[in-house]
Structure 1
Amino acid sequence: MKKTASAVWQGTLKEGKGTISTQSGALKENPYGFNTRFEDQPGTNPEELIGAAHAGCFSMALSNILGGAGLTADRIETKAVVTLDKEGDGFAITAIELTLNAKIPGTNDAQFQDLANQAKVGCPVSKVLNAKITLNATLES
């Protein structure tokens, strides 16, 4: 299986602008630029998209692992905070913090923590990232 996304950029780094699109059409020529990446202006940025991909992938991986343990979540909510740090002459994504809140009938916190950590390690997006990935998981009753 292969999925595609594309980006178009015009101009210099600071004054230029670009658009990002995905094969599915979920993103279609969404604007991004220096100001949306480094100055908190409206629009998207690569780090935000990586965070969304990681949160979504992790949630699906956890659902799969829960199924293997005979469990079904009522709700899995994952937030990803992506840290972009200055590194030498450039930048690097150095960390991603996943915050998980889940309601899973029939489990206890020890089992939940174990299954959540399996998902953190096994999620395909986790595997491709070269960043420190942490997980704060809360099981709701």
Structure 2
Amino acid sequence: MIRKAKAAWRGTGKDGSGDLTTDSGVLSTTPYSFKTRFQGEKGTNPEELIAAAHAGCFTMALAFQLQTAGFTPTSLSTEAAISLDQDGAGFKITKSALTLVAEVPNLDQATFDKLAEAAEKGCPVSRLLNAEITLDKTLK
């Protein structure tokens, strides 16, 4: 399976701007720039997209772990917070902090912990990231 996205950029790094488009069309000339990445201007940025990918991948992996163990979640909600830090003259993604809130009927805490940790370690995006990954999990 191969998934594709395209980036287009015009101008300098700081004053230029670009857009991102995915083959699925979910992103279609979505703007990004220095200002959307570092100054909170409206638009997206690579770290936000990685956060969405990690949250989505982990949550789906957990749903499969739960299904295999015979559990059906009422809800799984995950936030991923990506840390972009100075690294010499450049920047590096240093951490992805996952925060999970799960509602799963008849699931005990020990089994929940085991399944969530397996999902975090096995999710393809977790395996891709060369960064610290933390998982804060709550079973309601």
1:121 aligns with 2:121: yes
The letter for the 2-side match of 1:42 is: K
- TM-score for both structures, normalised by structure 2: 0.99
- Give the superposition deviation at 1:123: 0.2
Extract unaligned runs of 5+ from structure 2: none
The letter for the 2-side match of 1:139 is: L
Secondary structure of 2:80's partner? Answer: strand
Distance between the aligned counterparts of 1:9 and 1:40, measured in 2? 19
1:51 is matched with: 51
Distance between the aligned counterparts of 2:3 and 2:101, measured in 1? 29
Secondary structure of 2:9's partner? Answer: strand
Secondary structure of 1:102's partner? Answer: strand
* Percentage of identical aligned residues: 52
Aligned length: 140
2:64 is matched with: 64
CA RMSD of aligned residues (A): 0.5
Extract unaligned runs of 5+ from structure 1: none
- Give the superposition deviation at 1:27: 0.4
Which residues in structure 2 correspond to 1:1-141 (within 5 Å)?
1-140=1-140
- TM-score for both structures, normalised by structure 1: 0.98
Distance between the aligned counterparts of 2:15 and 2:94, measured in 1? 26
* Per-residue deviation, residues 73-109 of structure 1 (Å, max 9, x unmatched): 1100000000000000100000000000010011111
- Give the superposition deviation at 1:115: 0.5
- Give the superposition deviation at 1:8: 0.4
Secondary structure of 2:64's partner? Answer: helix
- Give the superposition deviation at 1:46: 0.2
Distance between the aligned counterparts of 1:57 and 1:128, measured in 2? 11
Secondary structure of 1:12's partner? Answer: coil
- Give the superposition deviation at 1:7: 0.4
Distance between the aligned counterparts of 2:36 and 2:21, measured in 1? 16
Secondary structure of 1:93's partner? Answer: strand
* Per-residue deviation, residues 8-50 of structure 1 (Å, max 9, x unmatched): 0111111000000111111000000000000111110000000
